[in-house]
Structure 1
Amino acid sequence: MLLYDHPLSSYAQKVKIALREKGVPFTAQLPDDFGTGRTDGPFATANPRTEVPVLIDGETRVFDSTVILEYLEDRFPEPALLTKDAAARALARMTEDVCDTQYEAVNWGYGEILWFRRATGALAGHLRDQAARQTRVLQDWLAERLGTAAWFGGDRFGWADAAVAPMVNRSVHYGMGPRPGSALALWHARLCRRPAIAATFAEFDAAAAEMTAASDLYTTGGRRREYRDHRLEWMVKSGGVEVVLAGLRDQNIRFSWPQGSAES
């Protein structure tokens, strides 16, 4: 089983956690043409969006992290990440959706400033403040969802935990982790003791340590960061519309497939 992956991708991390929790052997591979916008080659053939993760299982090709998790749950039902209870399943999926959209956008936007220096001075400070404020709102929402339980699904690690894990851990990396001693902070500490999580987070840490040095590749046009839907919304609503305009002018950002004329 092959997984097209980038260690910094929260979506790919979610899938790797699920694979490892289920004990499914796989090989992770960073596509050679990742971020280039190329529409040929096996990566683009498997996913026209040229986004990671993509799972290759024999002749089956699956993209989108949520669809991949659903595929894995069908293909490898034990150990189950979702319970049979309809309400609990809906709760897990709603938690995942918020993490995949709102939370991922905040983390991604902060990374644009920290790693890729898309803004400097007052604008950078403003965007960092926006990210910190919104992160606290999201963590408070997650803490309420967690309550006093050990895991988001109750007494067992499950689907929602796999989805939340990369998001909160990236906030911790950014210095915006949960309040010390809070239920969410204790959950993160408990999470990090699981072998599947520890292995995935170690890959993230190694890639993050190299990101600043590699950032020029993404700001000089060699590769282009994708300003997809919720990420674009975050940058605009948080006051960074000029970051988007500069990226279009300098041709070092891209939008989702199919591409528009401004990207060609």
Structure 2
Amino acid sequence: MLVLYEHPLSPYAQKVKIALREKGLEFEVRMPEGIGAGHTKGEFAEANPRREVPALIDDDVALFDSTVILEYIDDKWPEPSLMPNAPEDRARMRQIEDVMDTHFEAITWGLGELHFFKRGNAELRKTIEAQASRQIAGFMAWLESELGDNDWFSGHEFGRGDLSVIPYLNAADGFGYKPAEGSALAAWIARANARDSVSQTDAESRASITGMQMVSAAVESGLFKRQYRDHRLEWMIKSGGMDIVRDGLEKQTIRFTDHWDT
């Protein structure tokens, strides 16, 4: 049995769950203990030295990083393929995935810092959110151009490009950000969310939000430490949140990957 360590809100984990469901693979989901504090132990910690979800266990194979996991899934279970055939189209799918993972993710993650974790004062949150709104509009325009006249980012069929985008746009929707009504991107979102693999994954994500309402108190008390990976740190600083970073460092409520430190 495949074991996927995840958190339902993680778009990285959602990508993997959608892929597994598209391929009809059975898997067990587990949430790592202590994931929010950054000091997990056991099988998950051994599988992922970053101490972040997702991690996939397939018998004696242990993998981390959502992109690597997706490549493994498509290599081991090639049918139905989630990638187009042409090399240039496959490269474009990987390009879209990278942009969403390393640029757009920082925005929705940052909105979580403001809305769930209550970082900064009201005025600072308003300033940062204005930056997020502007940035999201730019990315949505780019996605609209990437979609073009196709039904799917992957071409004529739902695939890797689509599952790499929909978790992020659903997350943005949760904060009130949507593409223009009647746009091609809005129609694509409706098509994607109509798929069983996506709707089930999104429902799990939205159901977990109720548990986030009290998490700001855990951050304030130092029990919860958010991971500021490189793209997230860059986003927070360039969007006006330097004071949030300083405060988090002083109170030790943010963390960085340190497994390989000597």
Same topology, TM > 0.5? yes
2:37 equivalent to 1:36: yes
- Name the structure 2 match of 1:232: 233
Contact 1:224 1:253 in 2 (8 A): yes
| TM-score (normalised: structure 1) | 0.96
Tell me the distance in 1 between the aligned counterparts of 2:210 and 2:74.
Answer: 33
What SS is found at the alignment partner of 2:214?
helix
Tell me the distance in 2 between the aligned counterparts of 1:140 and 1:84.
Answer: 26
- Name the structure 1 match of 2:21: 20
- Name the structure 1 match of 2:118: 117
- Name the structure 1 match of 2:255: 254
- Name the structure 1 match of 2:196: 195
Contact 2:192 2:198 in 1 (8 A): yes
- Name the structure 1 match of 2:90: 89
Question: Post-superposition shift, 1:37?
Answer: 2.4
- Name the structure 1 match of 2:100: 99
Q: Deviations over 1:27-77 (max 9, x none)?
A: 111111212222642221111110100000001001000000000000110
Q: Which amino acid aligns with 1:94?
A: Q
Q: Which amino acid aligns with 2:175?
A: Y
Note the residue ranges of structure 1 that are not aligned, 5 or more in a row: none
List 4+ stretches of structure 1 deviating above 3 A. Answer: 258-261
| TM-score (normalised: structure 2) | 0.96
Question: Post-superposition shift, 1:258?
Answer: 3.2
Contact 1:228 1:255 in 2 (8 A): yes
Tell me the distance in 2 between the aligned counterparts of 1:47 and 1:218.
Answer: 23
- In the alignment of these two chains, the number of paired residues is 261
- Name the structure 2 match of 1:164: 165
Over 3 Å counting, the alpha-carbon distance change for 1:130 and 1:137 in structure 2 is: same
Note the residue ranges of structure 2 that are not aligned, 5 or more in a row: none
Q: Which amino acid aligns with 2:162?
A: D
Question: Post-superposition shift, 1:84?
Answer: 2.0
- Name the structure 2 match of 1:220: 221
- Name the structure 2 match of 1:135: 136
